[in-house]
C-alpha cells in the first residue's frame, strides 16, 4: 500500500472534529509541520488569540519564546525548518484559573501519525508540563521544575530540552530559578542554531 502523503495527513488533521463536542469555539487545529523540519516545538494548546488568528505563538508568549530561541519570525514560522505541534491542536476553552488543559484525545490520535514523518529532526523542545509528560514518558519527573533542572540529561539522552511555558504569567518562576536564564538559555540558543544550520555549513 502506498504511504499517505504528508500533505494529505496534514489535511486530515486540519479537518479533524474528534473532540468537537468539548471545544467551546469549535475545531480549529493550529500547527505547522513539514518532513524537512529540524526543530520540533511541542507545547500545550492554542490560547484564545492563537485560535482567533490561526497562527501558533502569535501572542506575548510567542515573543518571549522567539527571544529565548534567538529566532526571527521568518525562521520561526517556516515549517520547512520549524515544526510547531502542541499536545492539543485546538483551543480547549478557559477555566477558573486560565486555559483548560489540552484535549486528551488529540495527542494520542495525531502524534503517532505525525512524529514518525518528521525524520529530519535534530532537536525537540518540550514546553510545559503537558508536553513533558507526553514526550519524556517514564523519564518525566513529578514537577516541571525537576524536568527543566534535568535538561542536560534529556538533551544528551533524548535530544529533548524541557522548558517552562514562556507565558508572562511565569515571570515568578523565572525569577526563582535564575540558572534558567544564566545556564539553559545560552545552551538553548546554541542548540537551536546548530539544529537549523544547513548541512553544507
Ligand atoms: S483538539 Fe485535536 S482531536 Fe480535538 S478536534 Fe482539534 S485536532 Fe481534533
- What pLDDT score was predicted for residue 201? 58
Residue 40 has pLDDT above 70, yes or no: yes
Mean pLDDT of the chain: 96
Whether residue 17 has its Cβ less than 6 Å from ligand 1: yes
- What pLDDT score was predicted for residue 77? 98
Indicate which atom in ligand 1 lies nearest the CA of residue 28: 6
Whether residue 103 has its Cβ less than 6 Å from ligand 1: yes
Q: Which three cell numbers stand for residue 105?
A: 484525545
Stated pTM of the model: 0.96
Residue 169 has pLDDT above 90, yes or no: no
**For residue range 74-84, what is the model confidence (pLDDT) as tens digits?**
999 999 999 99
Contact between 93 and 46 under an 8 Å Cβ cutoff? The reply is: no
- What pLDDT score was predicted for residue 98? 85
Between the alpha carbon of residue 192 and those of residues 41, 76, 92, 93, 157, the distances in Å are 11, 11, 29, 31, 17
Span 19-40, average pLDDT: 98
Residue 6 CB contacts under 8 Å (≥ 6 apart), including other chains: 34, 35, 117
Length of the chain: 201
Span 61-84, average pLDDT: 97
- Could you tell me the pLDDT band of residue 3, with boundaries at 50, 70 and 90? confident
Contact between 50 and 58 under an 8 Å Cβ cutoff? The reply is: yes
Ordered by where they begin, the domains of the chain are 34-92+99-196 (3.40.470.10)
How many of the other CB atoms lie within 10 Å of CB of 146? 12
Contact between 76 and 41 under an 8 Å Cβ cutoff? The reply is: no
Amino acid at each position: 500500500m502506498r504511504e499517505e502523503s504528508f500533505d494529505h495527513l496534514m489535511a486530515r488533521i486540519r479537518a479533524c472534529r474528534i473532540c468537537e463536542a468539548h471545544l467551546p469555539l469549535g475545531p480549529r487545529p493550529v500547527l505547522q509541520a513539514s518532513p524537512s523540519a529540524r526543530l520540533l516545538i511541542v507545547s500545550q494548546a492554542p490560547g484564545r488569540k492563537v485560535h482567533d488568528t490561526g497562527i501558533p505563538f502569535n501572542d506575548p508568549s510567542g515573543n518571549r519564546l522567539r527571544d529565548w530561541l534567538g529566532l526571527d519570525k521568518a525562521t520561526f514560522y517556516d515549517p520547512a525548518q520549524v515544526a510547531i505541534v502542541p499536545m492539543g491542536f485546538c483551543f480547549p476553552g478557559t477555566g477558573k484559573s486560565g486555559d483548560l488543559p489540552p484535549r486528551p484525545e488529540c495527542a494520542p490520535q495525531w502524534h503517532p501519525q505525525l512524529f514518525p514523518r518528521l525524520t529530519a529532526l535534530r532537536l525537540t523542545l518540550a514546553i510545559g508540563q503537558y508536553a513533558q509528560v507526553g514526550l519524556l514518558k517514564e523519564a518525566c519527573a513529578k514537577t516541571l521544575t525537576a524536568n527543566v533542572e534535568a535538561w542536560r540529561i534529556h538533551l544528551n539522552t533524548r535530544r529533548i530540552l524541557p522548558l517552562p511555558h514562556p507565558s508572562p504569567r511565569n515571570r515568578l518562576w523565572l525569577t526563582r530559578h535564575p540558572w534558567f536564564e544564566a545556564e539553559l538559555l545560552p545552551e538553548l540558543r546554541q542548540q537551536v542554531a546548530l539544529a537549523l544550520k544547513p548541512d553544507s555549513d
